Amino acid sequence: MPDTTAPIPARFITFEGGEGVGKSTQVKRLLNNLERHNVRAVRTREPGGTPKAEAVRSFILQGRSESWGAGGEAVLFAAARLDHVNQLIAPNLRKGNWVLSDRFHDSTRAYQGLTGGVDEKLIGALETLALNGHNPDLTIILDMDPEAAFKRVAAREVEEGLAETGDRFEKEELDWHKRLRGGFLAIAEANPDRCVVISADQGEDELEAAIWAIVSARFPELGGRTA
């Protein structure tokens, strides 16, 4: 009989993907599923996760970093990540808590690197600096055709009264999101041991079950642990 009370090694799981694919809902659902299996876990996000990184987040998301260009933004994201890793991710893993992050270093590679044109060598150097050896054990890439994702976001905005119609996206924007999607798929192809691509074009419950199947297959030590 496996000892279901013995501590199991803490794992670091990241979620990645384009906009409107439903990452944050799935991060919450995985956290609940882990807790149901008696696994202590924390949920965090990027950019952000610590006070310093959240300050960088508001600077960037307010559009104040736009004039820095994609290279400058990559450096800002990496600076926020360095603090996030040192102050939140690494200490939690050391304490035995699993860490689930809504976005991490692959976002810099996909947005600023593969889509934004920042040189691969700079992206690689920033990764080495910011990760400080803390590579994710598993990265779940939620993949969706950007047109479908746009429709989903637009429908939500109409539903919440934030927009009147769902057709505010322009072709250029769509092309950019298609390149972004290609960037994440290329990252998955280059890192087959770490990354799993999963279609986000399915219901939330089905997606939750598919993610749980991936996580429990990847970490068989979860098996046999019930709430």
49 binds ligand TYD (CB under 6 A): no
Buried b (16+ CB within 10 A) or exposed e, 71-88: bebbbbbbbbbbbbbeeb
Cβ atoms within 10 A of the Cβ of 119, count?
Answer: 11
CA dist 78 and 89 (Å) reads: 14
Least distance to ligand TYD, CB of residue 227, Å:
29
Of residues 48 and 222, the one with the C-beta less far from ligand TYD = 48
103 binds ligand TYD (CB under 6 A): yes
108 binds ligand TYD (CB under 6 A): yes
Helix ranges (H only) for the chain are 23-36, 51-61, 69-84, 90-95, 105-107, 120-131, 146-159, 171-190, 204-218
Minimal CA–CA distance to 104: which of 53, 45, 57? 45
Minimal CA–CA distance to 109: which of 117, 98, 101, 100? 117
The span of 108-116, 150-158, 194-202, 208-216 binding ligand TYD (CB under 6 A) equals 108-116
Q: Which of positions 2-31 make contact with ligand TYD (CB under 6 A)?
A: 19
Q: Which residue is nearest to ligand TYD (CB)?
A: 111
Q: Which of positions 195-214 make contact with ligand TYD (CB under 6 A)?
A: none
- Here's the x/- map for ligand TYD, 110-139, by CB under 6 A: it reads as -xx---------------------------
The span of 103-111, 159-167, 177-185, 204-212 binding ligand TYD (CB under 6 A) equals 103-111
List interacting residues with ligand TYD (CB under 6 A): 19, 46-47, 61, 77, 103, 107-108, 111-112
